[in-house]
Amino acid sequence: MTRIYRIIALWLLVSPLAGNAIEWYSSTATQCWKHEKSLKWATTASTTGVIEISQQRAQVIDGLGGTFNELGWDALCQLDEQQRQQVLYQLFSPQESNYTYCRMPIGASDFAMNFYSLNDVADDFEMINFSVARDRHILMRYIKSAQAIQPALKMWASPWSPPAWMKTNNHYASCYDNDAQNHNGLPREKELELPTTGFKMQQGYLQAYALYFAKFVQAYDDNGIHIDAICIQNEPCSTQKYASCTWRPEDMAYFVGKFLGPTFERLHIDTGIFFGTINRDNPSFTRVALDDPQARKYFKGAGFQWDGKGAIPYISKEYPHLKMMHTEAECGNGSNDWPAAEHTWWQMSHYLRNGANVFTYWNMVLDQNGTSPWGWKQNSLITVDTGAKTVTYNPEFYLMKHLCHSVVPGAYRLATPADNEDVLAFVNPDGRITIVMVNRRDQAQRISLLITGRFLNLELPAHSFHTIII
């Protein structure tokens, strides 16, 4: 196709004369994913609250999804095969939630069944005893079940802790568990101190850990699961009673620049290395690593969660050549209610409007207790009642569906008014425009969307989510 015909085709796609069809899906607490059929183009706005959706493109979207954890697969295994497949279909089918880019832990997360790594043999510097045997029975089965529905699914991964023998306190946890049950068994005297690094910064351990990452990527590739990217450490700025490890940014940069990057280079591993997952709002913490003269050539991006939301607005602007990830949605305390979903919307809006190429929810599935082995009850998209064998789709499931259903990898975010947190817009590779909106007010809201010279006049019910596809 010549250049002039490509221009004409694009003009026809977005022109007010093209008569684009409109789909509208809406959700409230009492009726979710309702297909509205009454929306028509108008030549004038019905309200002064006009929101213009521009054609100005911002960042590309690499993918959207959630996190695979052991306790999620355990809950799914309490269902019969037909029920389990239906849950997975709702998450991964392009006709439903259409998750395309998901996270997994390397070894134990706080929602693993217990502490473990992929090599628990002390001082095995050559990784002779490295093994993914446990993962083959749990995490790989979970991921492969998703791949069967979404073959293009991409994965990224991060450790919550290195193998315990690589840490200065020789333990998976970083702080004493003062719960009466003392879940983790770490003596108070062996707590890690911030802002120190809990990894043994010695040549043998650093090289062994680089090999550990490489073997992880290779082993998953051998099992049909390619790891697109890794973040070096989950929440390096916190001590936790579950699997965790503190790192100073200069030490993470040293590890990447001197050991991990060269190891991936030598073994021709194309998995991207990201600085993260950063849970500190001070952007200077991230700058230290990204500016390191040896490490910076290996970093493909940075990942942020929790308090990291305060850093991404600065880092995304200062390092436009790097990818930005939202790495974990804030998980609440097991309420699984509409206010929790509205809080997750705010995170979506904040991270995507500040340059994130990826948005990652935390637990996709948990049982009716929703509690980690360390006693923290958290939210999930889907709740499986393992006694009654029933499945509940929580409000956050529908919020994620409103975003993910029709925003595919390669889409671009479109600029929306900077002072409006409740509207996101995207243009997909095929030219379809997707607009995601919420009304977080206690009363209905009338708005007019201005798109390529035409108006869509809507009334959004109180506390509602909306997706419009053009």
pLDDT tens column, 27-81:
999 999 999 887 899 999 999 889 999 999 999 999 999 999 999 999 999 999 9
User: Which has the higher per-residue pLDDT, 2 or 183?
Assistant: 183
Residue 3, pLDDT score:
40
The answer for residues whose C-beta is within 8 angstroms of residue 341's C-beta and 6 or more apart is: 394, 395, 396, 398, 399, 465
* CATH 2.60.40.1180 describes domain 22-57+415-469: yes
**Domain locations in the chain as residue ranges:** 22-57+415-469, 62-409
C-alpha closest to that of 364 among 125, 143, 65, 126: 65
- Is the pLDDT at 16 greater than 60? The verdict is no
- Is the pLDDT at 18 greater than 90? The verdict is no
Number of H-type helices and E-type strands within the chain? 12, 22
Segment holding 439, helix H or strand E: strand 433-439
b/e burial code for range 380-401 (CB count within 10 A of at least 16 → b):
bbbbbebeeeebebbbbbbbbb
Mean pLDDT within 346-362: 98
Residue 20, pLDDT score:
78
- Is the pLDDT at 345 greater than 50? The verdict is yes
Contact predicate 375/179, CB 8 Å: yes
d(CA 199, CA 193): 12
pLDDT tens column, 70-89:
999 999 999 999 999 999 99
- Is the pLDDT at 232 greater than 80? The verdict is yes
CATH of 62-409, one of 3.30.70.120, 3.30.200.20, 1.20.210.10, 3.20.20.80: 3.20.20.80
In which region does residue 395 sit, left (phi positive, over 0), alpha (psi from -120 to 50) or beta (all else)?
A: alpha
Contact predicate 241/184, CB 8 Å: yes
Residue 334, pLDDT score:
96
Q: Position of tokens 């620049």?
A: 257
Segment holding 300, helix H or strand E: strand 299-305
Q: Is the peptide bond before 195 cis (omega within 30 degrees of 0)?
A: yes
Residue 172: CA count within 13 A, CB half-sphere: 23
pLDDT tens column, 123-177:
999 999 999 999 999 999 999 999 999 999 999 999 999 999 999 999 999 999 8
- Is the pLDDT at 26 greater than 60? The verdict is yes
Q: How does residue 19 score in pLDDT terms, banded at 50, 70 and 90?
A: low
pLDDT tens column, 365-377:
999 999 999 899 9
Q: Position of tokens 């393992």?
A: 386
- Is the pLDDT at 470 greater than 70? The verdict is yes
The pTM (predicted TM-score) of the whole model is: 0.94
Q: How does residue 6 score in pLDDT terms, banded at 50, 70 and 90?
A: very low
Residue 181, pLDDT score:
67
d(CA 365, CA 88): 10
Contact predicate 357/59, CB 8 Å: yes
Residue 182, pLDDT score:
67
- Terminal-residue alpha carbon distance, the chain: 24
Q: How does residue 14 score in pLDDT terms, banded at 50, 70 and 90?
A: very low
- Is the pLDDT at 327 greater than 90? The verdict is yes
Q: How does residue 1 score in pLDDT terms, banded at 50, 70 and 90?
A: very low
Which two three-digit tokens encode residue 405? 């259903």
User: Which has the higher per-residue pLDDT, 18 or 191?
Assistant: 191
Q: Position of tokens 């209905």?
A: 444
Q: What is the CA radius of gyration of the chain?
A: 23
